[in-house]
Amino acid sequence: MTLGRLTTHVLDTANGRPAAGVRVRLYALEGPDGNTRRLLRDVMTNAEGRCDEPLIEGEHFLTGRYEVVFGAGAYFASIGAIQEQPAFVDDVVLRFGIANAAQHYHVPLLVSPWSYSTYRGS
């Protein structure tokens, strides 16, 4: 049986480079209403805008709902990007489902101080 994993990559589209030093927090969404968050990982992106290892993988990677929070506002403040206060883009919160825990799910973030986008990558 193939064991799946969840990875991410953050790209700073305003400056055309990987976003190094972005805080990434991964939560499992649980409870009767599906809104109770349980912290699974709290990591920073490396010089390539990636985490040094998958956010979650193998036997710990289960079907269900997850939330990843990217500290985009803090990243842009740390590199001296001129932002109004409060920042237009601050924490980017993405909620998504894992339907097949045997697959690789890649959730990249393309972000600027004014916008962001994501998709399921490979």
**Mean pLDDT for each 10-residue chunk of the chain (122 residues)?**
88 98 98 94 98 96 97 96 90 97 97 97 87
- Per-residue model confidence (pLDDT) at position 3: 80
- Per-residue model confidence (pLDDT) at position 84: 87
What do you get for the CA distance between the two ends of the chain, in Å? Answer: 19
For residue 65, which phi and psi values (nearest 5 degrees)?
A: -105, 140
Mind listing the domains of the chain with CATH numbers? 5-115 (2.60.40.180)
- Per-residue model confidence (pLDDT) at position 2: 63
User: What does the block give as tokens for 49?
Assistant: 């805008």
Three-point CA angle 75, 41, 113, nearest 5°: 20
Three-point CA angle 53, 54, 56, nearest 5°: 130
* C-alpha–C-alpha distance, residues 85 and 35, integer Å: 29
- Per-residue model confidence (pLDDT) at position 1: 54
The pTM is what? 0.95
Best CA proximity match to 22, nearest among 62, 61, 55: 55
